[in-house]
Amino acid sequence: MAEFYAPGEPLPLIPDDLTVSQFILDAHHPARPAQKRLMPWLIEDATGRGIGYEELRTRTFGLANEFKSRWNVGDNDVVCLYSPNHVDWPVVLWATHRLGAVVAPVNPAYTAEELIHALTLTEASVLVASSANLSVAVIAAQAAGIPLEKIVTIDSPLSPNAAQLSVEELICHGLSTPLSFNERRLLSGEGKTKLAFLCFSSGTTGKPKAVAVSHYAMIANILQVRAAIMSSPRYEVGDVVHGVLPFFHVFGLVVMLHSHLWFGNTVVVVPKFTFEGFLTSIQRYRIKHLHIVPPMVVLLVKHPLTRKYDLTSVRWLMSGAAPLSAELTMHLAKILPQCSIGQGYGMTETFTTIALSPNDSKIAAPGSGGVLIPGVVARVLKTDGSLAAEGETGELVVTGPSMALGYYKNPEATKETFVNGWVRTGDEVVINGKCEVFIKDRIKEILKVKGFQVAPAELEGHLLDHPDVADVCVVGVPDDYSGELPLAFVVPSESARARIQQNPRESEHLKATLVKHVADAKVEYKRLAGGVEFVDAIPKNPSGKMLRRVLRDQARAMKARMPSTPFMARL
């Protein structure tokens, strides 16, 4: 049987009786680097305020105490985090875990419809939101049956008379009252099954699915990444990391936030990405580590502001969430000549990292997602069901200690992706003799837009609700900045066709209407930025399955014929 085993030393002991908060805040582990001097764990980007270990640990206790005494949050209850990055974001997470409860981090840009789905599926009992998205949070909470008093703002309320309490107020009250909770302690082995997170990931059908993740999975991946980079001079205790990737996304949650904190580094917490703010922050805090996604690389390479800032502190840049082209990599190397440039590969279902660029490479091998990290075993499954050898193409299937438990309350989808402890990634790859993973294509239908997953079926289902749509197929059209953009091939209804025949202008009006129909209901990256094209019929095979590849090829041909839009004109 052809299997690929990650190179390197065996993994250190992975604790299976600790929660994430205990692993980060309390427990000693021999692989954890010792801090040589007191450093802030977090820095608030806007103010420069540093927050150290003791303050974070104290705030975690205060919030856990108040969650328990005020609302009796306890074992397996779900707290939904609907907020941009904030210095109290990990405090909410760790306080929830102190009580044995589960965290459901969701995109703070979700519309009310999307948030209602998340709250209903996870049966969340408390919703922590930012004041900026409070109005949407209130609408969704009411629809999901969450009392308004159980909505908490992670920052200050909009006004002193606001109905919602803030995290700061809850912490202060929790620290001023007697102990009300007994911290949840896990039995030996329980960490492997005890739910820690419900993280949303788009499956191939329907709405986003909640990936069920154990405490053990996150702890394992932190230790796996530590083992992979242990010999690298790139990583030193006290390094400063730019924390702009969203914490609700697994790349930001596991790699950028928790792993670096455990490594003894300082994370600069950035609520929202703006390019000039990004550059200012790098210069101001002398950032050494950048974890970014390809659209940010495009800006670094092409935006004129890049050359106005001092970026010489950056020594290690890792791009993830979507492949980085060889051309962009080479351009980036010219912009940051002092910097090592690598890529990582992972997904929510593998929580998170599967491969990283090797320690001894200055520039990642073009097209490589990195080398399998310690603890990972991979197979490459060919279309005939046999296992591929080195250099042969097939679907990547992986296993290891960080695999998720499955899709929450969705046994059918779980059976498709999680098979006897292995995860089917849906990516077509080649693995060479060095255990480097080269991504060739997507086998599954998922689109990757700005590093986020978009399920065509979700958009198709929404478009079919419109009375002017008889049939539809959504595919991805290539884009230098976003990776892919959703494009809808639409078969108009009979009445819509009649209107178009009577008035040709109706065609463009209807296209704009359908784009707005999606934009009004979906988060920004799911919108039809690739446009709408009308067709007479959606190609299908004899069994009725859409021939999505035919339309995807057609979309790429259309893209090739179109004149390119200057980069700066699109910003």
91 and 113 in a single domain? The answer is yes
* Residue that is last in its domain, among 407, 442, 477: 442
Q: Is residue 29 a part of any domain in this protein?
A: no
151 sits in which H/E element: strand 151-153
CA 466 to chain centre: 30
* Residue that is last in its domain, among 421, 442, 463: 442
516 and 432 in a single domain? The answer is no
67 and 162 in a single domain? The answer is yes
333 and 479 in a single domain? The answer is no
SS3 38: coil
pLDDT in tens, 388-400: 999 999 999 999 9
236 and 344 in a single domain? The answer is yes
Length of the chain (residues): 571
Q: Do the beta carbons of residue 19 and residue 13 sit within 8 Å?
A: no
How many other CB atoms are there within 10 angstroms of residue 286's CB atom?
Answer: 12
DSSP for 401-468 reads TT---EETT-HHHHHHHEETTEEEEEEEEEE-TT-EEEEEEESSS-EEETTEEE-HHHHHHHHHTSTT
Listed as ranges, residues in the chain with pLDDT below 70 are 1, 157-162, 202-206, 231, 442, 444, 541-545, 562-571
Q: Is residue 40 a part of any domain in this protein?
A: no
Q: Do the beta carbons of residue 555 and residue 477 sit within 8 Å?
A: yes
The number of folded domains in the chain is 3
CATH of the domain at 470: 3.30.300.30
214 and 341 in a single domain? The answer is yes
Residue 550: the pLDDT is: 86
Residue 530: the pLDDT is: 93
Q: Do the beta carbons of residue 298 and residue 328 sit within 8 Å?
A: yes
Q: Is residue 430 a part of any domain in this protein?
A: yes
292 and 412 in a single domain? The answer is yes
Closest CA to 292 of 353, 222, 343, 362: 343
CA 403 to chain centre: 15
Tokens of 402: 């960080």
Tokens of 229: 């980079």
152 and 221 in a single domain? The answer is no
Q: Write out the residue range of the structural domain in which residue 120 sits.
A: 52-185
C-alpha–C-alpha distance, residues 358 and 434, integer Å: 10
Q: Is residue 28 a part of any domain in this protein?
A: no
CATH of the domain at 374: 3.40.50.12780
Tokens of 478: 């290539």
Residue 266: the pLDDT is: 97
SS3 387: strand
CATH of the domain at 168: 3.40.50.980
C-alpha–C-alpha distance, residues 546 and 556, integer Å: 17
116 and 72 in a single domain? The answer is yes
pLDDT in tens, 120-173: 999 999 999 999 999 999 999 999 999 999 999 999 765 565 678 999 999 999
Residue 500: the pLDDT is: 93
Q: What is the pTM of this model?
A: 0.84
Q: Do the beta carbons of residue 259 and residue 31 sit within 8 Å?
A: no
157 and 237 in a single domain? The answer is no
Q: Do the beta carbons of residue 215 and residue 18 sit within 8 Å?
A: yes
How is residue 213 annotated by DSSP?
A: E
Residue recorded with tokens 């949303």:
200
Q: Is residue 19 a part of any domain in this protein?
A: no
C-alpha–C-alpha distance, residues 477 and 551, integer Å: 10
Q: Is residue 422 a part of any domain in this protein?
A: yes
Tokens of 112: 């009310």
Residue 542: the pLDDT is: 57
C-alpha–C-alpha distance, residues 495 and 513, integer Å: 15
131 and 280 in a single domain? The answer is no
C-alpha–C-alpha distance, residues 389 and 368, integer Å: 17
CA 501 to chain centre: 44
109 and 209 in a single domain? The answer is no
Q: Is residue 490 a part of any domain in this protein?
A: yes
Q: Is residue 190 a part of any domain in this protein?
A: no
* Residue that is last in its domain, among 418, 442, 466: 442
How many other CB atoms are there within 10 angstroms of residue 459's CB atom?
Answer: 22
- In this structure, what are the phi and psi dihedrals at residue 53, rounded to the nearest 5 degrees? -55, -50
